[in-house]
Amino acid sequence: MKVHRFQALVIGGLCLGAAVLAGETYNQHQQLVELQAAARNVPADPAPALRRDIDALGNTLTTLQPQVAAMGDAQAQHASAQTTFSQQLEEMAASLKAVQVAPSGPSNTDFSALEQRLGKTEIALATLSARASTPPADTRPVAPVGQKTKAKAPAPPLTLLGIETRGAVRFVAALPTGALSLSTVHLLQPGDSLNGWQLRAIREDEAVFHVPGHGDRTLPLP
């Protein structure tokens, strides 16, 4: 009887120990599961990704350095071209200013004034032609025999219309004798010739011409 009790006690103790051991095992298993879950939720180590990003950034900088140098050269060339262009613009502005200051050609106003003078000249020429058609009586004294007659200066082969000014340059407007068209008007400067008469000088109200074989001849200006 005592043996059976002892065995029962031993078996009960063993069962109780097994139960306690099973409980501890279960608890440890639950802790292991929790630790595994926590390990899965822990963020990955960023160091490898960060190193990859740094390496990629270094490669990008290495690639960009030649491009930055090329951009610097292009900017220097652009600055040089802009300086040259600015100098050309300044030269063009100076040339344009010189052209504006320089005397310009005849304007419409000048032609209108010249046309009015030509109209008056045509009237004067018509009057002179009418007078020339009636020769005056010859009242010249008869030169004594043996006395040499002085050569008379020829009549002007032109008609003066006035002075035209272009900036600082002065011209004498002249119409050849017998011409009545505006297209035949000549603007003469000292040194120019018309029908053999060479303009020597332009004065306030007269013009001096050199007549071949007769010296200088002064004609009044209208």
DSSP symbol at 192: -
pLDDT tens, residue by residue, 132-142: 555 554 445 55
Instruction: Flag whether pLDDT at 161 surpasses 60.
Output: yes
The beta strands (E) that lie in the chain are given as 158-166, 169-176, 186-188, 193-194, 197-202, 206-211, 215-220
Q: Which CATH architecture describes the domain 108-129+155-220?
A: Roll (2.30)
Residue 165 β-bridge partners: 170
pTM of the model: 0.35
Q: Please report which confidence band the pLDDT of residue 207 belongs to, taking 50, 70 and 90 as the band edges.
A: very high
pLDDT value of position 77: 85
Of residues 93 and 52, the one with the higher pLDDT is: 52
pLDDT tens, residue by residue, 53-110: 888 888 887 888 888 788 888 888 878 877 876 777 787 777 667 656 655 555 667 6
pLDDT tens, residue by residue, 1-46: 556 676 777 787 788 877 877 778 888 888 878 877 876 776 666 6
Minimal CA–CA distance to 171: which of 188, 191, 146? Answer: 188
Average pLDDT over residues 187-212: 93
Minimal CA–CA distance to 213: which of 157, 152, 171, 165? Answer: 152
Torsion on CA atoms 108, 110, 112, 117, rounded to nearest 10: -160
Q: Which of 61-65, 134-138, 152-156, 176-180 has the lowest mean pLDDT?
A: 134-138
